[in-house]
Structure formats: structure tokens, C-alpha cells
Amino acid sequence: MNKIDADIKIFVELIEQAIYIAKRIRFESICSPGNERVASPTEKTIDILTRFQESALNNEILRTSKKDVPSGTGLGLSRGVGEWSSGEALLESIYKIENFYRNVL
């Protein structure tokens, strides 16, 4: 396993929190009649977050701090999740990931 720096650790933890919230939303949508339409985008969000997490853990994620991408570049999560989610907790978690990526990672 690759050595993981402190910033990557924080980034991965933020992603883990968002995955947890998304899984809770998925579960609630499956159990609530009429909310099934939320299950599919939630699954996609969990998949995307998992890929970002794996990329970070493998030191493959492009980083603004290392000039891999231009400063201010985001991951596109806010827009994608904002199109389907009205869950405040998930959106707040996604914003934290985006801000950390833009400003620290």
C-alpha cells in the first residue's frame, strides 16, 4: 500500500462521510413508496465517490497543490448531486469534499 499523506487521509474521510449519507438516502428511498427514483442517482453517486476514494488511496488523484490541474478546479460533484438531491446533509458533505479538493488537495 502507498504511503498516504495527511491531506489524502482527510479527503478520504470526507468521502467516507458522504458515502455513508448517500447509502442512508438510498436505503430510505428504497423503503419509501414513491421515492424509488432517487435510488438510481444515489447509486451512481456512491460509485463515483468510491472511485475518487480509491484514486486518492492509490495516490492517483490529480491535485491542485501539485499543479496536476489548474487552481480552483473542482470534481463536479456539487453540480451532479445538486441536480437530484434535496438532502441537505448530502449536499453539505459534497460541498466539503469539493472545497477541500479545490483549496487544500
pTM of the model: 0.85
Model confidence band, residue 35 (pLDDT cutoffs 50, 70, 90): low
Is pLDDT above 90 for 53? yes
Q: Tell me what the pLDDT averaged over the chain comes to.
A: 86
What's the rounded Cα separation, in Å, for the pair 13 and 31?
27
The full DSSP string for 38-75 is GHHHHHHHHHHHHHHHHHHHTT-S--TTTTSS-TT---
Is pLDDT above 80 for 30? no
Q: What is the mean pLDDT of residues 59-75?
A: 86
Q: What is the mean pLDDT of residues 48-54?
A: 96
Confidence at residue 1, expressed as pLDDT on a 0 to 100 scale = 45
Q: What is the mean pLDDT of residues 54-78?
A: 88
Is pLDDT above 90 for 28? no
- The length of the chain is 105
C-alpha cell at 98: 469539493
CB neighbour list of residue 78: distance below 8 Å, 6 or more residues apart = 91, 94, 95, 98
C-alpha cell at 83: 441536480
DSSP tag of 91:
H
